[in-house]
Amino acid sequence: MLKNNTDSKNGKQELKKVLKTRDLVIFGIIFISPNSAQSLFGGLTTLSHGHGVLAIFVGLIAMIFTAFSYGKMASVIPKAGSTYSYATHTLHPTLGFMAGWAILLDYLIFPMLVYKLSSSFAIEMMPFMPLWLMLIIFILPMTLFNYVGMRVSSHLNLIMLLLKLISVFLFVGFAIHALTNGVGTGKIIDLQGVFDSTTFSMNALISGSSIAVLSYIGFDAITALSEDAKVPGKTVGRAVIITCLVSSALIGIQIYFATLIHPNFATFKNTDTAFYEVAIAAGGSGLAAATTILLVVTGAASALAGQASGSRVLFSMGRDQVLPGFLSYLHPKYKTPVYSILILAVLGYVGALLIPISVFFLIVVFGALIGFIFVNLSVVIEFFIKRKERKGANFLSNLISPILGIVVCIYILIGMDLVGKIVGICWLLVGFLYLTLKTKGFKQQVKMDM
């Protein structure tokens, strides 16, 4: 029988506190990934009909309200589990479970998507490599890093962040040079990089925005690591805001220049690896090879961050016994939720092997948006209603901002592709059925760790 690791002072299972503010910001940016624009570009620009920058901007507006809400909740509930913990504590254990179950869909799909994208770009350079082997090459070392703990992962993340920034500025530099020499639109400053009246469609923009939201889910990952952090909850909240703003600027500038280099979104040979074609146009095969290598290497780090955060959500739900208790088992030495990590690794491999990238894009943000709605609602209930903090600026931060966050998230959900809605709703129904059986028709209350 497995024995759970507990804190000697209070008898509770707790993760080892090793992360500082810098580590949290780096972790969030790694998860969001400044050069994720390169892997997302094809799907983003195609769905938005060439309006990737606008889609990123709409995503930022949607997420900045939610980012503030995450920051406020992290200041009062510095626990692993993030969305799950906030909704459980503030709303109701049943709603907390559904919020956690929803966000789990995101944490299950995101590593799969990143592994598949990284492997696809790697195979562009090494077509002789089968997908099943390339996935193993990515997943095994990343799982090992998570297994041995966040201290080791944080050191790796700093290196990966530097590589990601090199990739970003390398492409931007070559793109500016290419544009001044007549490639693409031939202009460095051109409205077409942001808006094209001949292809604009509000429905397409909203569809693109649903993918753009994927660029911002790193702030949820930061709060999922609250128990790994040495810093107080308010500092975790600041890390959330910084991550959101910095990442949006870095991603937006790459989408802008990539759009100017290749303005016709309908002519890509392979949408999944469209940025490879953009890089060739901007700097030839040398730039394409360099950016692809950096994207492949650092993309694995984004999956590492996703796996780490997802394992903390599973850990927290297992600790509260709303999911099987073995998920909360901590390694005696490393204090990491080893079974949660291993389960995500196996599911990540199988999913990346079997599910097409286009399908991932359609379903990946559904769970995140549902989770974001719960977090915004938690702010209203916790601060505006329970604590009655309603005067002055509190009226805006505790009511208006989270309500706007809820409205925008619902708007993007409505505009999502039908496949994404169907898969997401089915996922929620499975979770509800599981909870019904777990509580014997809600005759027993869902447990909640305090």
Say if CB 51 and CB 200 are below 8 A apart. yes
pLDDT in tens, 101-146: 998 888 788 888 888 888 888 887 888 999 999 999 989 988 888 8
The number of residues in the chain equals: 450
Question: Topology of 22-438 in CATH?
Answer: Amino acid/polyamine transporter I (1.20.1740)
Residue 221: its pLDDT value, please?
Answer: 66
- Short-list 325, 323, 344, 328, CA closest to 435: 323
Say if CB 121 and CB 39 are below 8 A apart. yes
Residue 12: its pLDDT value, please?
Answer: 53
Go through 160-173 and write b for each residue having 16 or more CB atoms within 10 A of its CB, e for each that does not: bbebbbebbebbbe
* Cα three-residue angle 108-94-70, rounded to 5 degrees: 60
Residue 427: its pLDDT value, please?
Answer: 95
* Cα three-residue angle 112-158-294, rounded to 5 degrees: 55
Residue 397, C-beta contacts closer than 8 angstroms, at least 6 positions apart: 68, 72, 383
Structure tokens at 24: 């949290």
pLDDT in tens, 256-284: 999 999 999 888 888 888 998 999 999 99
* Cα–Cα dist 24/412, whole Å: 28
Residue 8: its pLDDT value, please?
Answer: 41
* Cα–Cα dist 157/352, whole Å: 23
Please provide residue 376's backbone torsions phi and psi, each rounded to the nearest 5 degrees: -60, -40
Please provide residue 440's backbone torsions phi and psi, each rounded to the nearest 5 degrees: 55, 55
Furthest CA-CA distance within the chain: 71
Task: Report residues of the chain scoring pLDDT below 70.
Answer: 1-22, 31, 78-81, 150-155, 215, 217-221, 223-237, 445-450
Q: What is the dihedral of CA 53, 54, 58, 59, to 10 degrees?
A: -20
- Short-list 247, 316, 278, 297, CA closest to 31: 247
Instruction: Give me the residue spans of the domains in the chain.
Output: 22-438
Residue 154: its pLDDT value, please?
Answer: 60
